[in-house]
Structure 1
Amino acid sequence: MHEFSLISALMETVLESAEQNRISKVTRVKLIVGEFHGALPEVLSFAFEALAADTVCSSAELDMEIKKGLLRCTHCGHEFSNAFFINRCPVCGARDVDILAGRELHIDYYEGE
Structure 2
Amino acid sequence: MHEMSIVEALMEQITKMAQEQNWEAVTRVRLKVGAMRQIVPDILVFCFNVASKGTIMEGAILEMEEVPLRVKCEGCGHIWNDKEFLGLCPECGSIDVNVLGGMELELTNLEVEVKHAKAREH
Same fold (TM over 0.5): yes
For structure 1, which segment, 74-83 or 88-97, has the greater mean C-alpha deviation from structure 2 after superposition? 88-97
| Unaligned residue ranges in structure 2 (runs of 5+) | 114-122
Deviation at 1:17, TM superposition (A): 0.7
Instruction: List aligned pairs for 1:41-56, cutoff 5 A.
Output: 41-56=41-56
* Shift in alpha-carbon separation, 1:42–1:85, aligned structure 2, 3 A: farther
Q: CA deviation at 1:7?
A: 1.2
User: Is 1:10–1:106's contact at 8 Å kept on the other side of the alignment?
Assistant: no
- Note the aligned Cα RMSD (angstroms): 1.3
The alignment status of 1:26 with 2:26, answered yes or no, reads yes
Between the aligned partners of 2:26 and 2:38, the Cα distance in structure 1 is 27
* Pair member with larger Rg: 2
The residue type equivalent to 2:26 in the other structure is: V
Partner of 2:81: 81
Q: Which residue of 2 aligns with 1:38?
A: 38
With the length of structure 1 as denominator, give the TM-score of the two structures: 0.91
Structure 1 runs (4+) deviating above 4 angstroms are none
Aligned residues: 113
Percent sequence identity over matched residues? 37
Using the size of structure 2 for normalisation, the TM-score is 0.85
1:107 CA displacement: 0.6
